[in-house]
Structure formats: structure tokens, C-alpha cells
Structure 1
Amino acid sequence: MPRSAAVALANVDLNLLVVLRELLREQNVTRAADRVGITQPAASAALARLRRHFDDDLLERTGNGFVLSPLGRQLAVEVEPLYLGVERLFTPDPPFRPELSTHEFTIMTTDYVLAAAGEQISRALHTLAPSVRLHVRVAKGRLPADLPETLRAIDGIVSAPKAEFKVDEIRGAELFRDHWVCVLDAGNPAATGPLTLDVLERLPWVVPNHPDGAYPASSPLGPLMARLRTTPRVAVRVDSYNATPYFVAGTDRVAVMQARLAAGFAGRRDLRVVDCPGDPPPIVEILWWHARRDPDPAHRWLREVLVEATAPVRACEPARA
């Protein structure tokens, strides 16, 4: 390191790194002070020093509190790997050992993903790390509106791609794929032959995780909806992918659902599973996480386990109806 850079670094109070990280994470001086274990005036004084150092407000006041300045948003991404590196350097804790760890991981996903791959993930974690704990948060309705902020607080979200995930601080790894099929009552005339988009438009629908209003373009079903000339009539909204076929039996309704889920109902004589018209794009389920977790060995281990555990699922995409 050049002498001038070394001198400049020596003049920086590295205690400010801890305060900076929490200020950028919490965007609140009082909460940041609580997390660091200092008083609120001390955190305010540290923020003032950081503002002078960077010649930037970092936290900009709004009517309801603070938001990050453009530089603050940039530093929020850069500070995490730096902080974790310093933490590993000065903390005498042993490296992550999954077979001995009691660490708890938190994952958010849908009941569909759990039906498709939950057992494989559970078995892998239990075999490799029997004392590791897993908190699975099952999303009902929409995923949280602020996905990057949610991913700062939990280990990952397993979901189909959404525009909200396409930001610099979010990483992703594909877990498995699927395709859409239609489930109808066996007595429904539409179930006797190939289903067309025209017929699909006329049928009343059973739709999972449907908001009160127009179906969002960001939904996994968005591309199929875009192929229809008219918006279908939604007869039943249910906050569960698994529950949709139960509202089809004995009715003239149709449920558009994932082939892996529909396969569980293929043995019922009162239901028919047919190919979805319109050639909708495949369903791609991805593990998403925040870039701040990239250097964390425990999180890196979790990502590797999830990808490996779902390899058999990736290799066995359900056949077309």
C-alpha cells in the first residue's frame, strides 16, 4: 500500500465502520445505536463524522424519517463484504462447520415450491447439518413489495423472476423448472379435447394468490394472461397453489397451475389435466439472496446445498399432459 494511502487509513477511526453499516441498514439513528450498543447522541455524532468524511448526507431526511442518498445506497452494497471480512479477521470464531452448527436460516417461498422441492431440501439439510434450524416463511398472496429490503433481513427467497429482483445488490441461482397445465372437471366439455385460448377465455377461473383487481403483469401467470384477448372471469381467489384443484371439481371452472402440483391430482377420475394453450414460457424457480451475504461461509454453504438438493427436481421436469 502506498505510504499516503496507509497514512490516510491510519487516520480513519475503524469503529465508524460498525456504525456506518448499521446506519445504512437501519436508516434510523436510534435503531442503529441500539444495534451497536451506544447511545443515540453517540450515533448522531458518528453520523456527523461520517458525513464530513464522505462529504455527503448519507441519510436524507424525509417526512417519515430518512432514506439513503445515492452515495448511501452505493456504500450499503460495498460495506457488507468489507464488514464481514473485518469481522472474520478479528473474531476468533472457528469456520462454519455445518455438522456442528445450530445456525438458523430463514427462507421465504410459496406452498408450490415446498410441494415440488421441500422434502429434498429438508432431507439434505438434516443429513448434512442435523442441528441447523430452518425457518420457512410461506408467502400468502403477493411477495413483500420491497424485495431487496426483505432480502437484507432473511437468507433467501425462492420465487419466479420478477422485475423487483433485477437490481445490482440481488443475486440468483436457478433451482428448477416447470410448465403450466390446466385442470378441469372431467364432466366439463372443455376437458374432452385440446384446450384453446378461446375456450380458456370463456371459462371461469380459479386463481391462486390473486390480488383484488387486475392480475399483475409481474405474476408468473402474466405471460399467459398477455396472450388472452380478454381478462378471464375469476370465480375463486385462493391464497394457495395447492388448494386450486379443490375448487374445480364438480364445476365448470378451470385452474391454471404448475404441472408438478397437478401431477398429484392425476389419479382422480373426476379431474382432467390438459396442456395449457398459448405456449406460455416455462416456470423458473430461483433462489434469490442479497449481495451482502456473498462472503458469509454459512450462507455460501446453504446456497450450495439448495442447488444440489434440487438437482433431481431439475432433472425430472414433468411430461406434457
Structure 2
Amino acid sequence: MSDHPPLSRLDLNLLVALDALLTERSVTRAAQRLHLSQPALSASLARLRTHFGDAILARRGNAYELTPLAIRLTEYTSAALEAARRVFDAQADWSPEDSTREFSIYGSDYSFATIGRAASRLAAERAPGVRFRFMLHSPAIIDDIDTRLRYVDGLLIPHGFLTDLPFVDLRSDDWLIVASADNERAADGVTMELIADSPWVFTYQSRTAFTSASRQLQHLGIEPRISAVVESFLTLPLFVAGTDRLGLVQAGLAPIIEASGDVVLHEPPFDATPVKNALWWHPVHDRDPEHEWMRALFAEAAHGEASA
């Protein structure tokens, strides 16, 4: 027999109060957010403290801080609320034209600026009440993706990072090298010698977060001299402009990057393996008709982007 109390004995309204308290870190602001009186929310906090055997909010001078337990709870509370909302938002007969569902997607700024933007525009034409919440991923999120994907609708990321999860292939993309417009050494193109001699700006440079092209350089026997690491493809050119640095970006970003005029894009002097993008999700969403519609929308949007 389980040692956990049955859900029938739990007041799920406390979950809403807990989420507001953890977010606002103030009884007053949390009460205002929930349109409750301060005494009412104080009573909820008292019940939460009894349940967890923890202060949740601890006073430090004139402010409140989250206790170590409360910090841990922040990771689960919003996810639990979202899961509960999805349970009660589910409909036997669903049509995208009448839906007001919000789909939450993890990804990089590259995936949002290309496939995500195209999917959002397509949805606006067909399902004006549907909206997307695009959230930047991080190495910590990818490392815990099996759990994270239970509470969001998907992750836009290339092949090579995830296994044993359902996915739909989207667009493939090539790599380009970014150089400053005033970099005289790159005026006639980028050579392997220049790659080896130049400082670099990399993205997501860690054991589990990297780009296939940067890893490929190492396989070619080149250890790039990294002068900066940014977790943003759209920001990378700002760190290259006006310097002798080089960087790597996907060709899909070329129109946005070249518009500044501060950098130029070059074909790499090696056979860079293309990026094969995909939308990944947790199997719990497999039979959700709304989720199936969203997956088909992304596939269509990616095809349109590739044909543009």
C-alpha cells in the first residue's frame, strides 16, 4: 500500500497558491496576483508550511527568501499546474479553429527564428485562438529532457543529442562561417589555415551541448582557439563584428545576419555535415489529437521554409 495520501485528501487549490508564492516570493504580491485577500493567502501559506514541515518563505531583513525546499519545489510546481490544466482542457471533439490551447516548445533561438516562426504564422491563419510559448533550452534542460518533455509539448533540436523518443524530421540546414566585414584575411574566403589561426566564437560548448560543425573541426585535427562562448546563434555575429574572430551559424539565419552589414558569411572550406532538425516529444503525447495537429503543422511549416 502506498504511503502517500490519496489525492482526494489534498486541496489542489494549494498548488495554485504555492506557485504564486514561489514566483512572487511575497504574500502580498502573491495575493494580488490571485485576486485574494492577504489573510486568505496567509492561511494557505500556513497550511503549506504544515504539509511540508518547512517555512517555504523565510524572512531575511525586510524581504523573504525561498527555503532550500521551496527552491526545489519551483521546478515541479509550474509543471504540475500545467499538467492539471491539460487534463481539464482536454475535449472529446477538438477543432483547431475553435481551440485556445497554448503549445509550449523548447528550442534555440535559431529554431525559433526559422521553423518556430513559420509554424506560428501558419497557426495564426488556421487556428487564431491557438498560441505558442517558445522557451529557450539549456544544457541542464537537455540533460533532464525525459522528465521535461512530460510537461511541455516538444523540443526543437537536431539529431545527435536525443535517443529513444518519438520525433518528426523537419528541415535540414547547412553551416556557414561568420567573419567581420572588415576582416581583410577573410576577404577572399575562409581557408583551413585561417580557421586554424583565428580566434573563434562558439555556441553551447560543453560535453553535452555543441554544434556538429565545431565537433567536426576537432575531428579534422583542428583545435579552435575559443575566445567567447554564447548560448545564442543570433547573438554570435555581434561578438564577431569588428574583430578577427570567426563563428559558425546555420544558413537559415543568413537573411537576418546579413541585414546588419557588419559581418559576411562564407562557405566553409571543408565538407560540413548538414544539421538535420527535428521536433521531439514524450510518448505520453502520442495519441493526443491536438498534439498530432501541432506536429503536422511543424512538418508543413518546415517544408515551406525549405522551399522558400
Deviation at residue 222 of structure 1 after TM alignment: 4.6
Deviation digits for residues 58-105 of structure 1 (CA, Å, limit 9, x no counterpart): xxxxxxxxxxxxxxxxxxxxxxxxxxxxx9xxxx94322111122221
Give the match for residue 122 of structure 2: 124
Deviation at residue 266 of structure 1 after TM alignment: 2.7
C-alpha RMSD of the superposition: 3.0
Residue 200 (structure 2) pairs with residue 205 (structure 1): yes
In the alignment, the residues of structure 2 paired with residue 270 and residue 291 of structure 1 have an alpha-carbon distance, to the nearest angstrom, of 44
Bigger shift: 96-105 or 190-199?
A: 190-199
Give the match for residue 163 of structure 2: 166
Bigger shift: 93-102 or 281-290?
A: 93-102
Residue 183 (structure 2) pairs with residue 188 (structure 1): yes
In the alignment, the residues of structure 1 paired with residue 146 and residue 217 of structure 2 have an alpha-carbon distance, to the nearest angstrom, of 27
Give the match for residue 7 of structure 1: none
Contact conserved, 1:103 with 1:133, CA < 8 A, in 2?
yes
Give the match for residue 101 of structure 2: 103
Q: Which of 242, 248, 253 lines up with 1:261 in the alignment?
A: 253
In the alignment, the residues of structure 2 paired with residue 116 and residue 315 of structure 1 have an alpha-carbon distance, to the nearest angstrom, of 13
Deviation digits for residues 282-316 of structure 1 (CA, Å, limit 9, x no counterpart): 01110001122111111111111111122211224
SS at match of 2:281: strand
In the alignment, the residues of structure 2 paired with residue 112 and residue 93 of structure 1 have an alpha-carbon distance, to the nearest angstrom, of 33
Bigger shift: 143-152 or 248-257?
A: 143-152
Which amino acid letter does the alignment assign opposite residue 222 of structure 2? T
Which amino acid letter does the alignment assign opposite residue 282 of structure 1? P
Give the match for residue 226 of structure 2: 234
Identical positions, percent: 29
Deviation digits for residues 23-78 of structure 1 (CA, Å, limit 9, x no counterpart): 9xxxxx74xx67x5457xxxxxxxxxxxxxxxxxxxxxxxxxxxxxxxxxxxxxxx
Deviation at residue 271 of structure 1 after TM alignment: 2.5
Give the match for residue 219 of structure 1: 211
Residue 289 (structure 2) pairs with residue 294 (structure 1): no
Tell me: CA distance 1:145–1:182, structure 2 relative to 1, closer, same or farther (3 Å). same
Give the match for residue 152 of structure 2: 154
Aligned residues between the structures:
233
SS at match of 1:101: coil
Contact conserved, 2:112 with 2:134, CA < 8 A, in 1?
no
| Structure 1 segment 1-321 matched on structure 2, within 5 A | 30=4, 36-37=7-8, 93-140=91-138, 143-163=141-161, 165-167=162-164, 170-211=165-206, 216=208, 219-316=211-308
Contact conserved, 1:216 with 1:222, CA < 8 A, in 2?
no
Unaligned runs of 5+ in 2: 11-86
In the alignment, the residues of structure 1 paired with residue 154 and residue 148 of structure 2 have an alpha-carbon distance, to the nearest angstrom, of 9
In the alignment, the residues of structure 2 paired with residue 267 and residue 106 of structure 1 have an alpha-carbon distance, to the nearest angstrom, of 30
Deviation digits for residues 105-137 of structure 1 (CA, Å, limit 9, x no counterpart): 111111011111333211111222211232211
In the alignment, the residues of structure 2 paired with residue 249 and residue 206 of structure 1 have an alpha-carbon distance, to the nearest angstrom, of 11
Contact conserved, 1:142 with 1:209, CA < 8 A, in 2?
no
Contact conserved, 1:197 with 1:228, CA < 8 A, in 2?
no
Bigger shift: 215-224 or 273-282?
A: 215-224
In the alignment, the residues of structure 2 paired with residue 134 and residue 158 of structure 1 have an alpha-carbon distance, to the nearest angstrom, of 13
Contact conserved, 1:217 with 1:223, CA < 8 A, in 2?
no
Tell me: CA distance 1:216–1:146, structure 2 relative to 1, closer, same or farther (3 Å). closer
SS at match of 1:114: helix
In the alignment, the residues of structure 1 paired with residue 126 and residue 91 of structure 2 have an alpha-carbon distance, to the nearest angstrom, of 21
SS at match of 1:242: coil
Q: TM-score, normalised by structure 1?
A: 0.64
Q: TM-score, normalised by structure 2?
A: 0.67
Which amino acid letter does the alignment assign opposite residue 241 of structure 1? F
Tell me: CA distance 1:107–1:93, structure 2 relative to 1, closer, same or farther (3 Å). closer
Which amino acid letter does the alignment assign opposite residue 134 of structure 2? V
Tell me: CA distance 1:97–1:268, structure 2 relative to 1, closer, same or farther (3 Å). closer
Contact conserved, 1:175 with 1:307, CA < 8 A, in 2?
yes
Deviation at residue 256 of structure 1 after TM alignment: 1.1
Contact conserved, 2:175 with 2:251, CA < 8 A, in 1?
yes
Unaligned runs of 5+ in 1: 1-15, 17-22, 24-28, 40-86, 317-321
Deviation at residue 228 of structure 1 after TM alignment: 3.6
Deviation at residue 263 of structure 1 after TM alignment: 3.0
